[in-house]
Each structure stands twice: as structure tokens, then as C-alpha cells.
């Protein structure tokens, strides 16, 4: 299927002070689109209101959502997992956490069936973060058979995480 460029008109205010209400239309070329996905926007009440549309631009990948783990799901998802588990300790206000999030999502997809990946919000699950001595975020920990095996601190390159993961999945 061939992808095509998409042109969009953008309104820009006129530079002339006398034409304060005049608008000069401009055309910008957006990146080529590989596909469009749409999802209903949901209100807190659960009712749908509108649609969110996203275009996967050429050369950019759509990030994969990494599921959350909480105090109530920790035992079943991490401790009792038959597969090794990578847990990213993060917080919503953390810039480096936002930088590494797409990397964790990509690894989650690449290692599907060999490794389970989860995110733990340290602000909402302070007791687990304290239990494992989290002092800096993002921190990624690898668990195998319910035991902590490795720790990587900071927004590191993907290759650093891959080398840590590969020690425990037996590639």
C-alpha cells in the first residue's frame, strides 16, 4: 500500500498592524502517513465524547503501552511470574521517565513471550518503592522467580537494557 503526503492549511495572523483581523493561510506538508488509528475519547463517567485520531508518520514508531503493576497486583504479576519480569519504577512528573518509556514499550513488544514488562508509579506505590530501595527514577529492575536479579538506574540507552535482559532470558 503506497503512502501519500498530507497537506494541511494553517492560519497565520497577518504581519500588518492595520490588518489585525486578516489571516494569511499557509500550507505545510506533513510527514507521510503509514496508517491512522482512532479511539473514542472517554470521560471520567465512562461516556464516549469524540474520537482521538493519531497518524503514524513515516520513520516514527507508535509506542506500546506498558501495563501498570500496583501493590495489589505485585504478587501475582511479579513474584509469581513464570517469565522474567522487567519493572520500571517511574513517576508522572519525571522527565527522564518519559524519555525511557518508549524504549520500555519497544522492549516489551520485542521480548513478548520471553519477558513481562510493567511500570510501577512510585508516587502511588511508595511502600514497594521503599521496599526495593528506590532512590532515583527511572529505575528498572529485573526479577526472575520472584527475586530481584538486576537493577539499571537512569534513562540509559536501549543497548544497556538489552544486555541486562539477555542475561536472564537465555537468548
Q: Residue 45's pLDDT band (boundaries 50, 70, 90)?
A: low
Q: Return the pLDDT at 39.
A: 53
Better pLDDT: 73 or 33: 73
SS3 61: coil
CA-to-CA separations, 28 to 15, 31, 35, 57, 60, in angstroms, rounded: 19, 10, 19, 15, 19
- pLDDT tens-digit readout, 77-98: 999 999 999 999 999 999 999 9
pLDDT at 49 over 70: no
Mean pLDDT, the chain, whole residue set = 78
Indicate if 94 belongs to the active site: yes
Q: Which residue has 511470574 as its cell numbers?
A: 81
Q: Return the pLDDT at 37.
A: 54
Question: Which helix (H) or strand (E) segment is 66 a member of?
Answer: none
User: What are the structural domains of the chain?
Assistant: 71-167 (3.40.30.10)
Residue in 33, 55, 94, 117 annotated catalytic = 94
Q: Return the pLDDT at 122.
A: 97
pLDDT at 2 over 50: no
Backbone angles phi, psi at 10, to 5 degrees: -125, 130
Q: What is the value of pTM for the model shown? A: 0.64
Least confidently predicted of 39-43, 65-69, 126-130, 134-138: 39-43
Q: Return the pLDDT at 65.
A: 87
Backbone angles phi, psi at 11, to 5 degrees: -85, 135
pLDDT at 140 over 50: yes
**Nearest CA among 65, 168, 95, 98 for reference residue 151:** 168
pLDDT at 169 over 60: yes
Spatial separation of the C-alpha atoms in residues 28 and 58, rounded to whole Å: 16
Q: Return the pLDDT at 30.
A: 45
Amino acid at each position: 500500500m503506497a503512502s501519500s503526503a498530507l497537506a494541511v492549511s494553517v492560519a497565520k495572523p497577518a504581519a500588518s498592524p492595520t490588518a489585525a483581523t486578516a489571516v494569511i493561510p499557509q500550507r505545510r506538508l506533513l510527514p507521510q502517513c503509514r496508517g491512522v488509528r482512532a479511539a473514542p475519547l472517554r470521560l471520567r463517567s465512562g461516556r464516549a465524547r469524540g474520537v482521538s485520531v493519531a497518524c503514524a508518520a513515516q520513520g516514527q514508531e507508535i509506542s506500546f503501552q506498558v501495563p501498570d503493576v500496583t501493590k495489589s497486583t505485585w504478587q501475582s504479576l511479579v513474584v509469581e511470574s513464570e517469565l522474567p519480569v522487567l519493572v520500571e519504577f517511574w513517576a508522572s512528573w519525571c522527565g527522564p521517565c518519559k524519555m525511557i518509556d518508549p524504549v520500555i514499550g519497544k522492549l516489551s513488544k520485542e521480548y513478548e513471550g520471553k519477558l513481562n514488562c510493567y511500570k510501577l508509579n512510585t508516587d502511588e506505590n511508595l511502600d514497594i518503592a521503599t521496599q526495593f530501595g528506590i532512590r532515583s527514577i527511572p529505575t528498572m529492575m529485573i526479577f526472575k522467580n520472584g527475586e530481584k536479579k538486576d537493577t539499571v538506574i537512569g534513562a540509559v540507552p536501549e543497548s544497556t537494557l538489552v544486555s541486562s535482559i539477555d542475561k536472564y532470558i537465555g537468548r
